[in-house]
C-alpha cells in the first residue's frame, strides 16, 4: 500500500510549512485588530502591511495597488460590479472560458442593462483573433480575459490582447488566479500594455483559504461591494483576516522565488504523464497551445469522466473531472463546449494538476492505476453492450 496521491493542485493546494509557521502566532496569541490604535493593533497593522508588500513584490506591483479580499471570487466581483457601479451601463465582454465568478457577475450586469458579449475561443482554447477583433470593433467599455485557464491550463497572450484593448479604449481585467506561482507575473509590464487589474488568490500557491487580492491601477475608479469602516482604501470594508493575509504574503513570496524551478519540475512530470496517456489512447485537450506546465486535461474515448474520477479516488489518486467549483453540475465543461469539443468526449474529461511534493514515481503509479481502471471499465462496457 502507498499513501494517497494528490493531483488536484489547480483546485487548491496544501499549506506550506513556512506559511503555517508564519500564521500560527496570529492564531494562538496575537489578537490585534489592525485598525486599533494600541500596540496589539499596531502589530497587526505592521503584519498586514508586510504581507501587502510581499504580494505586491511577487507580481511587481506597488503595495498601494493591492486590495485584500476574502477570495478570488470576491476580487473578480469587486472589479466587475465595482467598476460598473461607477459608470452608466455600456458594453462588457468576457471570454467564453472564464471562471463562473466572472461569467455570473457579468450576466448579472447584463440584467442591469449592460450589453454582454462572450468572446469566442478556438479549438485549443485560445481567444479567437477574428472574434476578438470583432468585439473590439464594437468599442466595449470593459473586458475580462483570464490569463491561464483553470481547466485546460491554456495561457492567453495577455500583453497582445491588452495592447489591442487599450487601442480600443477598453478597461481590461484578468483573472490570474491560476497563473500565480506557475509562471512569472509582472503587473507593471502588463499595466503598461493595457491591463488595469489582476486577481490573485492565496490557496492556489500553498497559502491559506480565505485570502486573495485585486491588484488594481489606482487611477481606476471602483465602488466597494462591502461598505463600512473604509478598510482597503475604502474598497473592501471589514476587519482584516490577519492570519490569512500573513499567510498569503509568505506564500506569495515563496511562490515568486520558486516559480522557475516549479515550472521545470512540473513540466517534466507532465511530459511523462502525457506519454503514458497517449499510450492509452487519450485525447489531451489544448496540447498544441501554450499551457501551464503543471496542468493536463484529457479524456479517454468511451470512458465517463465522473466514473473514472471516482474509481481513481478509490485507488488512491485525487484528480478532478473539471473545475472544482462546478463539479456538482452534471453537464459537460463550459470550457470544452466553448472549444467545440464533442459532448460525448467532453463528458469524459479529467484534469490532473501537479504541485509541490509530486514526483515521477507517483506519475508511474498513476499511469499503472489508470491502465487497470480503464481496462476494468472497458470490460464492463463490453459486457453491458453484449446484454443489449
What is the rounded distance in angstroms from the CA atom of residue 225 to the CA atom of residue 96?
25
Select from 73, 178, 87, 151 the least CA-distant residue to 332.
151
Q: Give me the residues paired with residue 299 across strands.
A: 283
Contacts of 371 (CB under 8 A, 6+ apart): 280
| 154 DSSP β-pair partners | 291
Strand segments, DSSP code E, in the chain are 5-6, 66-69, 91-95, 115-119, 142-144, 171-175, 195-201, 212-216, 283-284, 295-299, 317-318, 350-353
Indicate the pairing of strand 66-69 with strand 212-216. Answer: antiparallel
Cα–Cα distance between 73 and 3 in angstroms, integer? 32
CA angle 53, 58, 63 (to 5 degrees): 30
- What percentage of the chain carries pLDDT values higher than 70? 95
Residue 233, phi-psi category: left (phi > 0), alpha (psi -120 to 50), beta (remainder)? left
- 352-388 pLDDT, tens digit each: 999 999 999 999 999 999 999 999 888 765 455 455 4
> Helix and strand tally (H, E) in the chain?
12, 12
Q: What local confidence, expressed as pLDDT, does residue 323 receive?
A: 40
The answer to whether the beta carbons of residues 301 and 308 sit under 8 Å apart is no
CA angle, corner 222, sides to 221 and 226, nearest 5? 155
CA atoms of 366 and 177, how far apart (whole Å): 27
86 is catalytic: no
Identify whether the C-beta of residue 120 lies closer than 8 Å to the C-beta of residue 129.
no
Question: Judging by beta carbons within 10 Å of its beta carbon (0-12, 13-18, 19+), is residue 37 exposed, middle or buried?
Answer: exposed
Do the strands 283-284 and 295-299 form a parallel or antiparallel pair, or are they unpaired? Answer: antiparallel
β 212-216/91-95 pair status: unpaired
pLDDT of residue 378: 85
**Residue 380 confidence (pLDDT):** 60
Ranges of residues in the chain whose predicted pLDDT is under 50? 323-327, 382, 385, 388
pLDDT at 1: 53
The contacts found for 228-232 with CB under 8 angstroms, 24 or more apart, are: 229/35, 231/35, 232/67, 232/68, 232/69
Residues in the chain: 388
pLDDT tens digits, 68-79: 999 999 999 999
Other Cβ atoms less than 10 A from the Cβ of 108: the count is 15
Instruction: Work out the burial of residue 28: count CB atoms within 10 Å of its CB; fewer than 13 is exposed, 13-18 middle, 19 or more buried.
Output: exposed
Q: What's the pLDDT score for residue 2?
A: 66
Alpha-carbon distances of 211 from 16, 37, 69, 137, rounded to whole Å: 15, 24, 6, 37
Catalytic residue among 86, 101, 283, 325: 325
Element (H, E) at 248: helix 242-279
Report the C-alpha gap between 122 and 196 in whole angstroms: 25
Grid coordinates representing 194 are 493595457
pLDDT at 327: 47
Amino acid at each position: 500500500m502507498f499513501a494517497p496521491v494528490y493531483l488536484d493542485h489547480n483546485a487548491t493546494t496544501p499549506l506550506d510549512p513556512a506559511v503555517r509557521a508564519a500564521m500560527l502566532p496570529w492564531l494562538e496569541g496575537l489578537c490585534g485588530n489592525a485598525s486599533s490604535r494600541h500596540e496589539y493593533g499596531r502589530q497587526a497593522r505592521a503584519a498586514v502591511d508586510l504581507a501587502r508588500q510581499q504580494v505586491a513584490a511577487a507580481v511587481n506591483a506597488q503595495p498601494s495597488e493591492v486590495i485584500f479580499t476574502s477570495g478570488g471570487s470576491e476580487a473578480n466581483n469587486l472589479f466587475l460590479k465595482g467598476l460598473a457601479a461607477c459608470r452608466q451601463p455600456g458594453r462588457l465582454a468576457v471570454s467564453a472560458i472564464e471562471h463562473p465568478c466572472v461569467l455570473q457577475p457579468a450576466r448579472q450586469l447584463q440584467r442591469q442593462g449592460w450589453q454582454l458579449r462572450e468572446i469566442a475561443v478556438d479549438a485549443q482554447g485560445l481567444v479567437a483573433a477574428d472574434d476578438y477583433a470583432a468585439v473590439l470593433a464594437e468599442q466595449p467599455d470593459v473586458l475580462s480575459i483570464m490569463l491561464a485557464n483553470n481547466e485546460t491550463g491554456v495561457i492567453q497572450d495577455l500583453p497582445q490582447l491588452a495592447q489591442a484593448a487599450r487601442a480600443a479604449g477598453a478597461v481590461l481585467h484578468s483573472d490570474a488566479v491560476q497563473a500565480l506561482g506557475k509562471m512569472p507575473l509582472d503587473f507593471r509590464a502588463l499595466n503598461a500594455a493595457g491591463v488595469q487589474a489582476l486577481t490573485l488568490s492565496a490557496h492556489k500557491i500553498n497559502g491559506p483559504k480565505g485570502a486573495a487580492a485585486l491588484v488594481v491601477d489606482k487611477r481606476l475608479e471602483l465602488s466597494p461591494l462591502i461598505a463600512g469602516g473604509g478598510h482597503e482604501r475604502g474598497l473592501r470594508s471589514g476587519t482584516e483576516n490577519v492570519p490569512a493575509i500573513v499567510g498569503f504574503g509568505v506564500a506569495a513570496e515563496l511562490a515568486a522565488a520558486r516559480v522557475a524551478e516549479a515550472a521545470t519540475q512540473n513540466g517534466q512530470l507532465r511530459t511523462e504523464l502525457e506519454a503514458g496517456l497517449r499510450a492509452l489512447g487519450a485525447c489531451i485537450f489544448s496540447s498544441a497551445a501554450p499551457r501551464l506546465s503543471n496542468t493536463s486535461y484529457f479524456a479517454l474515448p468511451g470512458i465517463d469522466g465522473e466514473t473514472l474520477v471516482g474509481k481513481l479516488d478509490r485507488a488512491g489518486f485525487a484528480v478532478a473531472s473539471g473545475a472544482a467549483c462546478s463539479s456538482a453540475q452534471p453537464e459537460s465543461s463550459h470550457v470544452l463546449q466553448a472549444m467545440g469539443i464533442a459532448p460525448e468526449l467532453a463528458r469524459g474529461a479529467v484534469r490532473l494538476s501537479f504541485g509541490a511534493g509530486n514526483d515521477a514515481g507517483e506519475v508511474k503509479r498513476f499511469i499503472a492505476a489508470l491502465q487497470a481502471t480503464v481496462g476494468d471499465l472497458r470490460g464492463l462496457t463490453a459486457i453491458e453492450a453484449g446484454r443489449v
